[in-house]
Chains A and B, each alone.
Chain A
Amino acid sequence: MLTKRIIPCLDVTQGRVVKGTSFAELRDAGDPAELAAFYYAEGADELVFLDIGATPEGRNTTVDIVERVSRQVFIPLAVGGGLRSIDDMRRMLEAGADKVTVNTAAVLTPELIKEGAHKFGSQCIVVAIDARRSGNSSEAKWQVCTHGGRRPTGIDVLSWARRAVDLGAGELLLTSWDADGHRAGYDLELTRAISEALVVPVIASGGAGNLEHLYQALVIGKADAVLAASIFHYRTYSIRQAKAYLAERGIPVRTEQ
């Protein structure tokens, strides 16, 4: 039986892992390569690196980090943040990434998804969607935000997710802007709406504060994988604890290593 994945997310800027609240107020959380090795040893199922600075210099740093990590860590690595072109994607894949995540650039140029899937295969292309709840009930329930969540686009999340999959996205990384960093749980309604509507796996992100939240995202949200940052970075819980908790509640997880 396919197991549910537990994925620590490393938001990287200026060579350090950081974490904030609703994409702001960043706190230092450690060295990316050290954290990656630690999570690998602990049984993480995959790692996501996001260059949240998304500057050209930041991208060089990320390439270095991915190169170092991929020599020691033998689980899938997804890398994103500021990737704007096929060449940006290729650089990350050549550095040792298995998947690239695209967000703003894909919204601005959806053909990037298609071209990436054609060149590298759909399994490489993770479309990251930052979703923000609309206050106005006459609008779509969630709208896509770009530029690290700062810019609401008015695009309906569900229709964008469908389009991304049609264009060749192999997975969706769905982050709730409203929930991110608040540790009050994932946006379960959002996660479930997208997971049920689409055939590709959905990684739930944004809002994990305890292990019950992971369980809820997998069971109520029907996510295929859960991504979390601060609960792991600040050692509130270990990956091992998270998996033991889920396994006890009947969720299939990889516990042996």
Chain B
Amino acid sequence: MIAVVDYGAGNLGSVANAVAKLGYEPNVTNRPDDLLNAAAIILPGVGAAGHAMDSLERLGMADVIRRLIHEKRPLFAVCVGLQILLSSTEEGGWHRCLDAIPGTVRRLPQGLKIPHVGWNQVRQRVRHPVFEGVPDQANFYFVHSYYADPDDTLAVAGTTDYGLSMCSVIIRDNLVATQFHPEKSGNWGLRMYHNFLKMSLGGGN
């Protein structure tokens, strides 16, 4: 079962549609038990990180997600989903986050249009099954005003230039996280989900 975490944020439908398009059955859920039983989990995200954290805490899912990451279970986090993996965010003052990836989420530098909206290139810094068949410097769709700044640069699996070279992909064990939206990034985005699901379920599809 592929769990798509529902914590009241939007764009769950898009993620579920992408999973269905790839031939898997998505289970959009807000029940911690479903996450524990899932073969793979997608943590989508739009909106404010502080709000997302509050919702996950309230639904009793924050601790479950921390535990699953600790157990190296397959989890794909998207956009705000990536941001809340870090220790804290500057968005809306200061908010404590999941602290699975030590580091801070910061505001994009001034001087360029904010939010960063549109298709931008991802430079792959590691070889990893999730990138299989995806060319280096392929374009993905971004929409965000804050970016993740992990303390450990080894966690940074992809970078994107927008006023600075920022972390756009995090990979650690079976945890994959992207600042861009794979479900809105055409074929390359679908390919990354496909690779992740194949990797998680240990078979083809």
Q: Does A231 contact B (CB under 8 A)?
A: no
7 additional A-B residue pairs with CB within 8 Å, beyond A2-B120, A171-B117: A2-B118, A120-B47, A200-B113, A201-B117, A257-B186, A257-B187, A257-B188
**Given the known A-B contacts A98-B184, A123-B46, A257-B186, are A45 and B119 also in contact in the complex, defined by CB atoms under 8 Å?**
yes
Q: Which 8 A-B pairs have the closest CB atoms?
A: A121-B47, A254-B139, A254-B119, A123-B143, A3-B119, A2-B120, A201-B117, A96-B13
Q: Which chain B residues border A200 with CB–CB below 8 Å?
A: 113-115
Q: Does A75 contact B (CB under 8 A)?
A: yes
Evaluate contact between A201 and B21: CB separation under 8 angstroms: no
Q: Is the interface of A mostly helix, strand, loop or mixed?
A: loop
**Given the known A-B contacts A5-B118, A123-B143, A256-B139, are A199 and B113 also in contact in the complex, defined by CB atoms under 8 Å?**
yes
Q: Does B183 contact A (CB under 8 A)?
A: yes
- B-facing residues in A60-115 (Cβ within 8 Å): 70-72, 74-76, 93-96, 98
Evaluate contact between B115 and A201: CB separation under 8 angstroms: yes
Residue of A nearest to B184 (CB): A76
A74 touches which of B120, B142, B183 (Cβ 8 Å): B183
Q: Does B11 contact A (CB under 8 A)?
A: yes
Evaluate contact between A74 and B115: CB separation under 8 angstroms: no
Q: Which chain A residues border B184 with CB–CB below 8 Å?
A: 74-76, 98
**Given the known A-B contacts A170-B117, A225-B118, are A93 and B186 also in contact in the complex, defined by CB atoms under 8 Å?**
no
Residue of A nearest to B11 (CB): A98
Q: Which chain B residues border A256 with CB–CB below 8 Å?
A: 135, 138-139
Q: Which chain A residues border B48 with CB–CB below 8 Å?
A: 121
Kindly state the separation between the CA atoms of A98 and B17 in the bound complex, as whole angstroms.
13
Q: Does B105 contact A (CB under 8 A)?
A: no
Q: Does A122 contact B (CB under 8 A)?
A: yes
B17 touches which of A76, A96, A257 (Cβ 8 Å): A96
Give B26 Cβ to nearest chain A Cβ, in Å: 12
Number of A interface residues in the complex (CB < 8 A): 33
Q: Does A124 contact B (CB under 8 A)?
A: yes
A-B residue pairs in contact (CB < 8 Å), sample of 12: A2-B142, A3-B120, A45-B118, A70-B17, A74-B183, A95-B13, A98-B10, A120-B47, A121-B47, A170-B117, A171-B115, A201-B117
Q: Which chain B residues border A170 with CB–CB below 8 Å?
A: 115, 117, 143
Q: Does B185 contact A (CB under 8 A)?
A: yes
Q: Which chain A residues border B141 with CB–CB below 8 Å?
A: 45, 75-76
Evaluate contact between B120 and A123: CB separation under 8 angstroms: no
Contact with B along A169-208 (1 / 0, CB 8 A): 0110000000000000000000000000001110000000
Q: Count CB-based A-B contacts (< 8 Å).
A: 101
Evaluate contact between B118 and A224: CB separation under 8 angstroms: yes
Give B24 Cβ to nearest chain A Cβ, in Å: 14
B190 touches which of A4, A74, A224 (Cβ 8 Å): A74
Give B20 Cβ to nearest chain A Cβ, in Å: 7
Q: Which chain A residues border B121 with CB–CB below 8 Å?
A: 1
Evaluate contact between B119 and A5: CB separation under 8 angstroms: yes
Residue of A nearest to B79 (CB): A123
Residue of A nearest to B135 (CB): A256
Q: Which chain B residues border A49 with CB–CB below 8 Å?
A: none
Evaluate contact between B13 and A123: CB separation under 8 angstroms: no
Residue of A nearest to B139 (CB): A254
Evaluate contact between A74 and B21: CB separation under 8 angstroms: yes
Q: Does B177 contact A (CB under 8 A)?
A: no
Q: Does B157 contact A (CB under 8 A)?
A: no
A201 touches which of B118, B161, B187 (Cβ 8 Å): B118
Q: Which chain B residues border A70 with CB–CB below 8 Å?
A: 13-14, 17
Kindly state the separation between the CA atoms of A224 and B120 in the bound complex, as whole angstroms.
13
Give A99 Cβ to nearest chain B Cβ, in Å: 9
Contact with A along B106-136 (1 / 0, CB 8 A): 0000000111111111000000000000010
**Given the known A-B contacts A74-B190, A254-B139, A256-B135, are A121 and B114 also in contact in the complex, defined by CB atoms under 8 Å?**
no
Kindly state the separation between the CA atoms of A199 and B113 in the bound complex, as whole angstroms.
5
Q: Does A215 contact B (CB under 8 A)?
A: no
Q: Does A40 contact B (CB under 8 A)?
A: yes
Give B111 Cβ to nearest chain A Cβ, in Å: 10
Q: Which chain B residues border A94 with CB–CB below 8 Å?
A: 13
**Given the known A-B contacts A70-B17, A71-B17, are A123 and B119 also in contact in the complex, defined by CB atoms under 8 Å?**
no
